[in-house]
């Protein structure tokens, strides 16, 4: 039976990691893997997380199952940061559950809307490749619109047309901030318009907030999500702590549902629980428990936020440095300065991508997507010089 399976293409990112690791050059640069790096090129464990883990080791008295909903203390502790401290559950209209990372949350959200009757998911392109991959695996049709134009700004005309074409049973997947892979975010004015358009549309929004705090700040990065939620009757929110708490390998995420009628939440979440039971049964505990302990402790919360500020400021320095280079060879790096988060796309040709790898030991995705956090004071000048040479 197993011989009937068809060979699947290798994951492009995993192949890129191997290429980088096999390169013997001491000055090689990895701009592919989507993790934060310090100025020394390391991906650290947050000090606040280390302190919470120490407390967890000293106080945890059981490893018994949590249930498919996970650590509800973790789920509740996140809500004021996601939805606002004044009314975090929107008057009883929001409930959530823990998931294995943001990917688990997205899988659950898309499976839930499919179970509710959705057939089409409207997604801006380019998007995180796993968005389309999950939809394909679930048998959901992906309807694409252009996220950004050649001017490096969001393509609001394409978005307006996509929403106008929506019909009953459609869902729209929107990046809350720090767009992956372009770094091109909607402005507050854009979000105000998007919220108004969705308020008058049958489309159900699915909001993917995977990088809160890595763009402009925790509150600023939640503006779009909160604005949309204030305007629409129902929504699903996919959240990841993997980036803003540095818990990549611990897979820490949450799915929240907002319902027009709070009485529907029990029914909605029962579907989330049953889908989780059939997929992973229950989420891993350790990372979620560490986040909960951080958010329950005022001093640890302050430490975490300070560490997050430092991350964001370092990435802003990289963006400003690249933007200051302006037109470099045949590309203009200046738009990178007004983008947010870990990623940006530089319009390299496939041949130029290969030349950057072969001649300069600089590795990034074939799409031209770079992880700006891979650039440091020690290698950013080399990168800019290589871009100038290869694209001239």
Burial of 1 from C-beta contacts in 10 A (0-12 / 13-18 / 19+):
exposed
Query: Phi first, then psi: what are they for 389, rounded to 5°?
Result: -70, -45
Q: 328: which strand partners?
A: 331
Distance CA 140, CA 249 (A): 28
Which residues are identified as catalytic? 128, 208, 210, 243
Q: d(Cα 318, Cα 327) in Å, to the nearest integer?
A: 16
CA 210 to chain CA centroid, nearest Å? 3
Those residues whose C-beta lies under 8 Å from the C-beta of residue 339, and which sit 6 or more positions away, are 152, 179, 182, 183, 184, 185, 319
Query: Containing H/E element for 143?
Result: strand 141-146
> Which residue blocks in the chain are alpha helix, DSSP H?
12-22, 47-59, 72-83, 101-115, 129-138, 156-164, 188-199, 218-221, 223-229, 265-279, 286-296, 298-324, 350-360, 380-391
State CA 117 to chain mean position distance: 26
Burial group, residue 160, by CB count within 10 angstroms (0-12, 13-18, 19+): middle
Q: For tokens 């197993």, name the residue.
A: 2
DSSP state of 232: -
As a whole number of angstroms, the distance between CA 71 and CA 75 comes to 7
Cα-based angle 311, 370, 11 (whole degrees, multiple of 5): 110
* Full DSSP string of 367-380: T-EEEGGG--TTTH
């Amino acid at each position: 039976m197993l011989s009937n399976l068809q060979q699947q293409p290798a994951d492009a990112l995993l192949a890129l990691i191997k290429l980088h690791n096999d390169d013997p050059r001491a000055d090689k640069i990895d701009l592919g893997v989507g993790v934060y790096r310090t100025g020394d090129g390391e991906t650290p464990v947050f000090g606040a997380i280390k302190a919470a883990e120490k407390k967890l080791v000293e106080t945890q008295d059981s490893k018994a199952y949590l249930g498919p909903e996970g650590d509800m203390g973790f789920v509740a502790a996140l809500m004021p940061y996601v939805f606002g401290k004044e009314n975090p559950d929107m008057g009883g209209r929001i409930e959530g559950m823990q998931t294995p990372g943001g990917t688990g949350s997205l899988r659950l959200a898309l499976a839930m809307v499919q179970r509710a009757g959705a057939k089409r998911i409207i997604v801006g392109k380019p998007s995180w490749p796993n968005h389309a991959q999950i939809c394909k695996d679930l048998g959901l049709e992906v309807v694409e619109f252009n996220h950004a134009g050649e001017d490096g700004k969001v393509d609001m005309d394409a978005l307006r047309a996509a929403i106008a074409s929506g019909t009953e049973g459609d869902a729209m997947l929107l990046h809350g901030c720090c767009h992956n892979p372009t770094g091109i975010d909607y402005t507050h004015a854009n979000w105000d318009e998007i919220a108004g358009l969705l308020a008058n549309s049958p489309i159900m929004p699915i909001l993917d907030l995977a990088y809160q705090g890595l763009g402009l700040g925790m509150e600023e990065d939640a503006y779009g999500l909160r604005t949309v939620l204030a305007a629409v009757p129902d929504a699903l929110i996919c959240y990841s702590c993997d980036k803003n708490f540095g818990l990549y390998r611990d897979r820490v995420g949450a799915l929240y549902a907002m319902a027009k009628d709070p009485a529907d939440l029990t029914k909605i979440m029962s579907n989330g629980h049953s889908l989780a039971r059939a997929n992973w049964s229950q989420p891993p505990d350790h990372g979620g428990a560490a986040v909960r302990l951080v958010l329950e402790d005022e001093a640890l919360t302050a430490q975490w936020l300070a560490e997050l500020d430092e991350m964001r400021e370092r990435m802003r320095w990289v963006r400003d440095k690249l933007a200051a280079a302006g037109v470099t060879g045949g590309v203009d790096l200046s738009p990178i300065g007004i983008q947010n988060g870990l990623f940006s796309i530089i319009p390299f040709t496939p041949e130029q991508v290969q030349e950057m790898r072969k001649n300069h030991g600089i590795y990034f995705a074939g799409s031209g997507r770079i992880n700006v956090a891979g650039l440091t004071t020690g290698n950013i000048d080399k990168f800019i010089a290589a871009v100038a040479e290869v694209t001239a």
